[in-house]
């Protein structure tokens, strides 16, 4: 078994971080696999927080998961259409994004975009960049164009920008701009479940179309249902470095 980033000497590495560093999935997805009993270390089901040590054999449903020192990570910009679900669960969800993209090697989505929404979603096999992009304390921006079912007023825009009480919390202040009587642009720095839809519903409006057009510095530039590889420069910008 090859050593990998983060496994220093005999200290080992937490099992969920192991999955991100070998490019199998994100930490959140790894925790779900562990909870489901799908993961084994040396033939035994681990608990969350268990460390993988040099020489350990990690499997998911019997398939060995190991690092590949020669591997170059994959980074894709995907224009997800309405009807596709951002999940790697290919068994339970027939309209999953993994099968839709049909990339020849294993990739998984960075975050989520709900089934009835469309737009930019990143897919990769680099679990570390997933954690970097989704970590809320970094304040990474995501921009959306939203259409609601009826005209809104200035009070609606003010409330959206100042914060709306949903899911037992108040959303963070954000940028909102009027584009037409029923269309607005919104830039978020957090990612609560169905956040924009819930915010609009709390203010008496229903979202009829939601399109994500930007993640950090990366803008949507591919047709619906298509994808492209990110350039090296784009990946570096996502990491916040020009080196």
The residues carrying an active-site annotation are 114
Structure tokens at 162: 């100042």
CA-to-CA distance for 1 and 4, rounded, in angstroms? 9
CA-to-CA distance for 150 and 42, rounded, in angstroms? 58
Q: Which of 26, 81, 25 is nearest to 220 (CA)?
A: 81
Q: CB-based contacts of 148: which residues, under 8 Å, 6+ apart?
A: 182, 183, 184, 200, 205, 206, 207, 208
CA-to-CA distance for 154 and 151, rounded, in angstroms? 10
| Secondary structure (3-state) at 233 | helix
């Amino acid at each position: 078994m090859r050593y990998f980033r983060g496994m220093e000497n005999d200290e080992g590495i937490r099992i969920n971080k192991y999955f991100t560093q070998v490019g199998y999935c994100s930490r959140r997805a790894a925790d779900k696999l562990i909870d489901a009993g799908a993961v084994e270390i040396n033939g035994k089901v681990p608990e969350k927080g268990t460390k993988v040590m040099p020489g350990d054999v990690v499997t998911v449903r019997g398939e060995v998961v190991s690092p590949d020192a020669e591997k170059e990570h994959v980074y894709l910009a995907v224009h997800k259409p309405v009807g596709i679900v951002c999940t790697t669960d290919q068994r339970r969800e027939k309209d999953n994004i993994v099968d839709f993209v049909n990339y020849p090697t294993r990739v998984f989505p960075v975050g989520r975009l709900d089934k009835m929404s469309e737009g930019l979603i990143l897919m990769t096999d680099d679990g570390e960049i997933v954690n970097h992009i989704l970590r809320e304390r970094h304040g990474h921006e995501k921009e959306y164009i939203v259409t609601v079912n009826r005209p809104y007023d200035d009070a609606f825009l003010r409330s959206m920008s100042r914060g709306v009480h949903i899911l037992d919390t108040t959303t963070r202040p954000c940028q909102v701009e009027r584009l037409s009587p029923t269309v607005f642009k919104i830039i978020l720095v957090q990612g609560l479940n169905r956040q924009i839809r819930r915010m609009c519903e709390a203010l008496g409006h229903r979202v009829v179309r939601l399109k994500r057009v930007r993640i950090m510095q990366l803008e949507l530039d591919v047709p619906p249902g298509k994808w492209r590889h990110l350039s090296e420069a784009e990946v570096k910008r996502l990491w916040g470095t020009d080196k």
